[in-house]
Amino acid sequence: MIPQMVAARVVDARGSVCPGPLMALIGAVREQGVGDVIAIYSTDTGSRKDIPLWVNKAGHELVGAFDRGAYTEFVVRKKR
Amino acid sequence: MKRVVILGGGVGGTIVANLLARKVKDADLTLVDRTGKHVYQPGFLYVAFGHMKPERLVRDERTLLHRRVKLVLGEVARVDTRSKEVILKDGDAIPYHYLVIATGAEIVPDGIPGHEAAHQFYSMKGALRLREALSNFAGGRIVVAIGGVPYKCPPAPAEAACLLDYRFAKLGRREKVRIHYLSPLGRVFPIESFSPKVQELFERKGVKYTTFFNVERVDPIAKVVHSLEGESMPFDLLILVPPHRGVAFAKASGFADAGGWIPTDKHTLEVKGHERTIWALGDATDIPISKSGAAAHFEAKVVAKNVAAHLRGEIPTARYGGRVFCFFDAGFRRASALRFDYGHPPPPMAVSRRWYLGKVLMNRLYWTLIPTARV
């Protein structure tokens, strides 16, 4: 479990449907500084595919994707 | 007499006002609009391509409203939900019992550094400037890019790519023009079920595309657009869908999220935290549906029914199921259509002359059929 205090930003995109959670993450990455950790909560199953693909293409780090029961928590570190 | 105030004289607000005027005889109805001009925004794309004249896109809002609806010209500063008043920028206060917010979305071109080098068709000015640029375009690479999600009318940029192909093919100069489409998502079209259809069209037309290209900035000197993902794309002509945000007064009134969108129940269209008093519809809301008049049209009927029920002391029962019906112009006088709701993504429909005629008819009959709530 990644403690929330590590995340510089927590984006709660639960209830938002594709591509909402990915776009919320992209918006947060735009605004945060290099090295910051961003946590995003998503209930949309499409996020499991979209978010890792985008993080990889954009050159950031997917610290992990954690099943939190009713939702998934993605933890991303902005690398550049 | 109960007072209903409707903010916004676009498609959604106008339909709500006209339906209420017909359904409820003893209510005081006021519509507040910034300009008093009703604009058929789907026509901007056609102005840019020279298929429609600008004057066909604008009418006086007064001429579209039922005579019982009072039209107030003014810009909303904020809504005071405690005193139940709409405060205008000139200081006037308009009291309400029920409030309907249909003020749409704002475009924010300067959200992208270097945007001055780009064209857009999300305003009349932008559409006319693009029309001129296309007329003067001798050859090279035209890039169609999206400056942020959400944006109005998800099909529009992909339609623009198809219409570019059509235009230059018709002029006999297609081989001199390269068209490149940059999608912010991992696919070419926002709606997943329809994306393969658009991808197939692009491949057939020789429209190149790059996915996961979120525009970060434009270099106007080098004529290159750079992405957040670290890629860049040179252009000779750039069409950039500007970033969008919700209207400013929603934030000033305390009921907007970070993007300025109004948190709204996706079925009842009541503004969250202000149920039974304030409704929101169309592009202004945060509901998970396309930002387009094609959604606002159906949402407006639900809002009008429920506000009318409150006015009559009845229990409101109408619910919006996410219904949208719109066209996708594929160029060469052919189009496809998208019909969907919350539970049913749009099936990929064939590209045909029939749907193109549907789109042409909509462009012609809009004024007669839609704001008047005849359909």
Contact B185 A26 (CB under 8 A): no
Write down the mean pLDDT value for chain A. 88
Number of domains chain A contains: 1
Contact A19 B190 (CB under 8 A): yes
Residue A1 forms part of a structural domain: no
Domains of chain B by start residue, with CATH:
2-104+247-312 (3.50.50.60), 109-243 (3.50.50.60)
Annotated catalytic residue, options A8, A10, A18, A62: A18
Q: State what percent of residues in chain B have pLDDT above 70.
A: 100
Please give the ipTM for the structure prediction.
Answer: 0.86
Contact B214 A57 (CB under 8 A): no
- DSSP for B189-255, please give it: SSSGGGHHHHHHHHHHHT-EEESS--EEEEETTTTEEEETTS-EEE-SEEEEEPPEEE-HHHHHTT-
Residue A2 forms part of a structural domain: no
Interface list for A 17-56 with B (CB within 8 A): 17-20, 22-23, 26, 29-30, 46, 49-50, 53-54
Residue B160 clears pLDDT 60, i.e. is over it? yes
Query: What CATH code is carried by the domain that includes residue A60?
Result: 3.30.110.40
Residue A48 forms part of a structural domain: yes
> Which structural domain range is residue A50 located in?
12-74
A18 is catalytic: yes
Q: Does B172 touch chain A (CB under 8 A)?
A: no
Q: Which of A17, A22, A58 sits opposite B230 (nearest CB)?
A: A58
- CA angle at residue B207 from B204 to B209, to 5 degrees? 120
How do residues A44-80 score in pLDDT, each as one tens digit? Answer: 888 999 999 999 999 999 999 999 999 999 999 999 9
How do residues B254-307 score in pLDDT, each as one tens digit? Answer: 989 888 999 999 999 999 999 999 999 999 999 988 999 999 999 999 999 999
How do residues B195-233 score in pLDDT, each as one tens digit? Answer: 999 999 999 999 999 999 999 999 999 999 999 999 999
Contact A58 B190 (CB under 8 A): no
Residue A6 forms part of a structural domain: no
Residue A5 forms part of a structural domain: no
What single-letter amino acid sits at B294? A
Residue A2 clears pLDDT 90, i.e. is over it? no
Residue A79 forms part of a structural domain: no
How do residues B354-375 score in pLDDT, each as one tens digit? Answer: 999 999 999 999 999 999 999 8
For residue B286, what is the nearest residue in chain A, using CA coordinates? A16
Q: Determine the Cα–Cα distance for residues B122 and B142; give it in Å rounded to an integer.
A: 17
